[in-house]
Amino acid sequence: MRSIINILDLSVEEIDELLDVADDIIANPAKYAEAAKHKQLATLFFEPSTRTRLSFESAMLALGGNVLGFSDAKSTSASKGESVADTVSVVSGYVDIIAMRHPKEGAPYVASKHSLVPIINAGDGGHYHPTQTLTDLLTIRHEKGRINNLTIGLCGDLKFGRTVHSLIEAMSRYSGIKFVLISPDELKLPSFVKDEFIKAKGIEYKQSKTLDDVIGELDILYMTRVQQERFFNEEDYLRLRDTYILDEQKMKLAKDDMIVMHPLPRVNEISTAVDNDKRACYFRQAHFGRYVRMALILKLLGIKVD
Ligand code: CP
């Protein structure tokens, strides 16, 4: 029984296989329509979500399985003080696999120690979001045709941005990667990611406080939202939230084949006028999430489709 808490729980070869299965699902959806028949997925979401929860649920239904769960911890016994460990000890007796999102870093790891079935981390606080990274890698492979030899700019909240942390860890294992870290001082990449996955591996990187100065160098621009829910101080949030706004003027400075990614939700950081630019692929990116989550569910349930 295997859980996925961090993207590094999967080898590069396993990720490549998952992306291949996701592509096969896209090409031959009917082949997979009953692959997880009679299996049940629980989505335990202690924190809000649109894409991750619904794409997990859509993924399981598209595999012929069933779904149960909650999207608001207030409606569960967590509101009476039940621990994550106790909740999972119980729920894992009802289902075959669990996707869990929690505002506390490490909660899905704790859950995995008490679960009878695989746990998938669907985002834990400002820590990790491995299935977003699988989504991102499938998007990059489709849009750029490769996951190596790329300069990727990560812009916005690099401190609390769990999608950024997981993506850097994953891409640090591919060759020819260069990172451009674009953030204000207050939202810089934390050392647990920068030291271990960029500096220690000798990966080329640069830091910038402005987007205009570096956008022309990028193959991929990965925008992120400044996350109000991670700030202790409203004043700081208000001061930092509009630091970067990608608009049509800035897009003129970018390469013709640069792609713009964003895990979403977006607030102000990408002007809606950019949505019509063919380089904007964030909605296509969100759609890829369903297929790669189907592939991951199959892998963790030990189901092979020939
Ligand atoms: N990308 C992402 O995690 O979106 P949701 O918060 O809507 O799930």
pLDDT tens figures, 35-49: 999 999 999 999 999
Q: Percent of the chain having pLDDT more than 90? A: 93
Nearest CA to ligand 1 atom 4: 51
Residue 76, pLDDT > 80, answer yes
Per-residue pLDDT band at 3 (split at 50, 70, 90): very high
Phi and psi based region of residue 202 (left: phi greater than 0; alpha: psi -120 to 50; beta: remaining): left
- Report pLDDT for 247: 97
Is the CB–ligand 1 distance for residue 118 below 6 Å?
A: no
Q: What is the pLDDT of residue 233?
A: 83
Q: Residue 235: its pLDDT value, please?
A: 83
Q: What is the percent of the chain with per-residue pLDDT over 70, rounded to a whole number?
A: 100
Reported confidence tier of residue 1, pLDDT bands at 50, 70, 90: confident
Beta bridge partners of 128: 124
Residue 66, helix vs strand vs coil: strand
**Model's pTM, two decimal places?**
0.96
Q: CA-CA distances (angstroms) from residue 156 to 123, 130, 266, 292?
A: 18, 19, 12, 26
Atom of ligand 1 nearest to the CA of 48: 6
Is the omega angle on the peptide bond into residue 190 within 30 degrees of 0, that is, cis? no
165 pLDDT higher than 80: yes
Spatial distance between the Cα atoms of 15 and 138, rounded to a whole number of angstroms: 9
Asked if residues 4 and 296 have their Cβ atoms less than 8 Å apart, the reply is yes
CB of 130 sitting under 6 A from ligand 1: no
Confidence of residue 236 (pLDDT cuts 50, 70, 90): confident
If phi over 0 gives left and psi between -120 and 50 gives alpha, with beta otherwise, what is residue 89? alpha
Active-site position among 101, 127, 225, 299:
101
Q: Is residue 229 in contact with ligand 1, taking CB distance under 6 Å?
A: no
**Is 165 considered catalytic here?**
no
Q: 50 CB under 6 A from ligand 1?
A: yes
Say which amino acid occupies 39: K
50 Cα nearest atom in ligand 1 = 7
- Give the integer Cα–Cα distance in Å for 80 and 82: 6
Q: Which residue has the higher pLDDT, 186 or 289?
A: 289
Helix, strand, coil in percent for the chain, rounding step 5: 45, 15, 40
Nearest CA among 108, 113, 146, 150 for reference residue 129 = 108
Alpha-carbon gap, residue 164 to 263, rounded angstroms: 9
Q: Is the pLDDT of residue 230 over 80?
A: no
The per-residue pLDDT for 115 is: 98
Compute the distance between CA of residue 169 and CA of residue 192 in angstroms, rounded to an integer. 10
Euclidean distance between CA atoms 124 and 130, whole angstroms: 10
Closest ligand 1 atom, CA of 54? 8
Interval between CA 154 and ligand 1 midpoint (Å): 17
What's the CA-to-centroid distance between 160 and ligand 1, angstroms? 14
pLDDT of residue 255: 98
- Its sign, for the CA torsion 46, 52, 55, 56, is negative
Nearest CA to ligand 1 atom 6: 49
Q: Averaged over 131-149, what is the pLDDT?
A: 98
123 lines ligand 1 (CB under 6 A): yes
Q: Give, for ligand 1, the residue of 7, 51, 58 to mutate: max count of ligand atoms closer than 8 Å to Cβ.
A: 51
Q: Is the pLDDT of residue 168 over 90?
A: yes
